[in-house]
Structure 1
Amino acid sequence: MKKFNIAAAFAVLAAPAFADGHVSSQGDAAAGEEQFNRQCVACHVVADASGEVLAGRNAKTGPNLYGIAGRTIGSVEGFRYSDSLTALGEAETPWTEEAFVGYVQDPTGWLRETLDDRRARGKMAYQVREEAQAYDLYAYLSTFAEE
């Protein structure tokens, strides 16, 4: 019984570390890599702090997606975000799996709902059509974590 109580205590204490939305719970990173190379490389790159391109072709239309999982929305230095994404960044809203999936499937709709502002808009026009693909993209991008 004592072992069970200790194990239960560890599980309760560890839960917040796994529930913060930084790691995909539903996506397939390998499938996400394929989707990224089909859907995202025209506008986005994944480049680490030293500037090494880890994914993509050095596109600069959209922000660098390195370390996006758990990062504050609208926080890539030097990128000009929409007013709506800037507002979420100022509120220190993180990119969780749920937020990412909602945003990439309907950027403007997600912003309007999240900010409760029918005028909210984003700059990203592209929409990921299938929810499973959005989860896969998050799983792939979450493999590029800032250390």
Structure 2
Amino acid sequence: MRIPLIAAALASLATAPTFAQQAGDAAAGERVFAQCRACHQVGETARNLVGPQLNGLFGRRAGSVAGYNYSPAYKTPEVAEKTWSPENFATYIRDPRAVTPGTRMIFVGLRDDTQIANLTAYLQQFGTDGKKAP
């Protein structure tokens, strides 16, 4: 009897949603973005502030927003060759300074997977032109 229970438990772990599969709530993500708003903007009128604007973040190469003066950490080959995805953004936003040593970003990070999924869903709405996808 123990073997089937253990097998069932392992199977449920194998099918548990990973971050990439976790659907976020964009409205809740907008509230999470309030923590980012002092340095970053999104939307049709977004501009670079202390940090770069975040329109069209996913699928964009790291350190590539025109007109933004990135820290030297973003000019290293290993960072400059990175393309933002929901998965590597989730890793980054947990602890930006650990992922990109030398970054000027002073944010301590988000530790909550739900907040990260919500923030990701919010940011995914914005195309490169700052318009929200329907």
Calculate the TM-score normalised by the size of structure 2.
0.69
Distance 1:103 1:78 in 2: 22
Deviation at 1:122, TM superposition (A): 1.2
Q: Report the RMSD for the aligned CA atoms in angstroms.
A: 2.0
Structure 2 equivalent of residue 81 of structure 1: 70
Residue identity matched to 2:66: E
For 2:41, give the aligned amino acid: V
1:108 maps onto 2:83 in alignment: no
Quote how far apart the aligned CAs of 1:47 are. 3.8
Q: How does 1:28-107 map to 2 (within 5 A)?
A: 28-36=25-33, 38-48=34-44, 52-53=45-46, 60-87=49-76, 88-89=79-80, 91=81, 93-107=82-96
Paired letter, 2:60: R
Gaps of 5+ in 2: 1-19, 130-134
Deviation at 1:121, TM superposition (A): 1.9
Runs of 4+ more than 6 Å apart: none
Residue type of the alignment partner of 1:31: A
Q: Is the 8 A contact 2:43 2:126 kept in 1?
A: no
- 8 Å contact 2:48–2:68 — kept in the other structure? no
Match for residue 135 of structure 1? 117
Which amino acid in structure 2 is aligned with residue 33 of structure 1? Answer: E
**How many percent of aligned residue pairs carry the same amino acid?**
39
Q: Deviations over 1:38-58 (max 9, x none)?
A: 21111111144xxx24xxxx6
CA distance in structure 2 between the partners assigned to 1:78 and 1:131 by the alignment: 32
Match of 2:102 among 117, 121, 125: 121
Q: TM-score, normalised by structure 1?
A: 0.64
Q: Secondary structure at the match of 1:40?
A: coil
Residue-pair matches, total: 106
Q: What is the alpha-carbon distance in structure 1 between the residues aligned to residue 125 and residue 21 of structure 2?
A: 13
Deviations 1:29-81 (A, max 9, x none): 12111111x21111111144xxx24xxxx671110001101111110011111
